[in-house]
Amino acid sequence: MKLTYYGQSAFGATVGGKNLIFDPFISPNEQAKDIDVEKLEADYILLSHGHLDHVADTESIAKRTEAPIISNYEVVTWYGNKELKGHPLNHGGKWAFDFATVKYVNAVHSSMLPDGSYGGNPGGFVIWNDDVSFYFAGDTALTLDMKLIPMTCPKLDFAILPIGDNFTMGYEDAAIASEFIECDKIIGCHYDTFGFIKIDHAAAKKAFAAKGKELILLEVGQTLSI
Ligand code: NI
Ligand code: MN
C-alpha cells in the first residue's frame, strides 16, 4: 500500500484498491501549502474526531468526491446534516468495508466540531485486510486501552501515532505505546505544525530506537510504499 503525508495528522492511503484520506487539515496548514486539496482523490474520508486540525477540508473533499465519511456517530451525524454521507461507528465496533475491516478504538482526548457542536468521544482506527494491518491513533494520550489492540486485531504492520506532546502524547509516551500495540514501525504525526507541538526529531527517533522501534518522520507530500 501507499501512504502519503499531508501534514499534521492528514494522510492519504491506498488500501484494498480504494483511496482513503485521514483527518484532512491541509488548506489551513502553512506547511502543506504545496498540496492541492482540489486534486486529492478520495473514496472514503476517515475522521478520528471533530477538532478543526483534523476536519478542516472534509466538507470540500466530500462534496467534490462524494466520498463517505467514516467516524463516530456524532461526527457523521453533523456532516449528515450538511447532506454529506457517512458511516457511523462507535468505540469497539468494526465494519467490513469494501477495502478492509475498520474498527473504531479508544482515544483519550476530547472532541468538538468547528461550530462548537458536541463531537462525541474521540477515537482511532485499526484497519486490516488480507494484505495489511495498521493503526491510526488520532489524537490520544498513552492509554492502557492500546494493549487491547494486539489482543483483538491482526498483528500490525505499522502504526501512525501522535508524537508532538502538549495536546497529545509526546514521543516518549508514544514509544511506550508502540510497545503496548506490539508494533515496530511507527509513523509520527501531530508535530511541528505550530509552536506548542514543535519537537526535536533526533531525540524522538532516539526514544523509539532505544526500544528497538523505528520512528519514521515523513516530509509533507512524501509517499511511502509499505
Ligand atoms: Ni484534537
Ligand atoms: Mn489535533
Report pLDDT digits (tens) over 48-106: 999 999 999 999 999 999 999 999 999 999 999 999 999 999 999 999 999 999 999 99
Proximal ligand: closest to the CA of 9: 2
| Residue 223 burial (CB count, 10 A) | 13
Q: How remote is the CA of residue 139 from the centroid of ligand 1, in Å?
A: 5
Proximal ligand: closest to the CA of 108: 1
- Angle subtended by helix axes 171-180 and 201-209, to nearest 10: 30
Q: How remote is the CA of residue 130 from the centroid of ligand 2, in Å?
A: 30
- Over range 203-222, report the average pLDDT: 98
| Predicted local distance difference test score (pLDDT) of residue 214 | 98
In the chain, what's the furthest Cα-to-Cα distance? 48
- Angle subtended by helix axes 58-65 and 73-80, to nearest 10: 60
Q: How remote is the CA of residue 125 from the centroid of ligand 1, in Å?
A: 15
Q: How remote is the CA of residue 157 from the centroid of ligand 2, in Å?
A: 24
Give how far Cα 172 sits from Cα of 3, 147, 197, 199, Å. 24, 17, 14, 11
Identify the band that residue 133 occupies on the pLDDT scale cut at 50, 70 and 90.
very high
- The H or E element containing residue 75 is helix 73-80
| Predicted local distance difference test score (pLDDT) of residue 176 | 98
The answer to whether 137 and 159 have CB atoms below 8 angstroms apart is yes
Proximal ligand: closest to the CA of 53: 2
Q: How remote is the CA of residue 139 from the centroid of ligand 2, in Å?
A: 6
> Can you name the residues that pair with 128 across neighbouring β-strands?
101, 133
Q: May I ask the CATH class of domain 2-225?
A: alpha beta
Tens of pLDDT, residue by residue over 14-52, are 999 999 999 999 999 999 999 999 999 999 999 999 999
Q: How remote is the CA of residue 2 from the centroid of ligand 2, in Å?
A: 23
What is the pTM for the complete model shown?
0.98
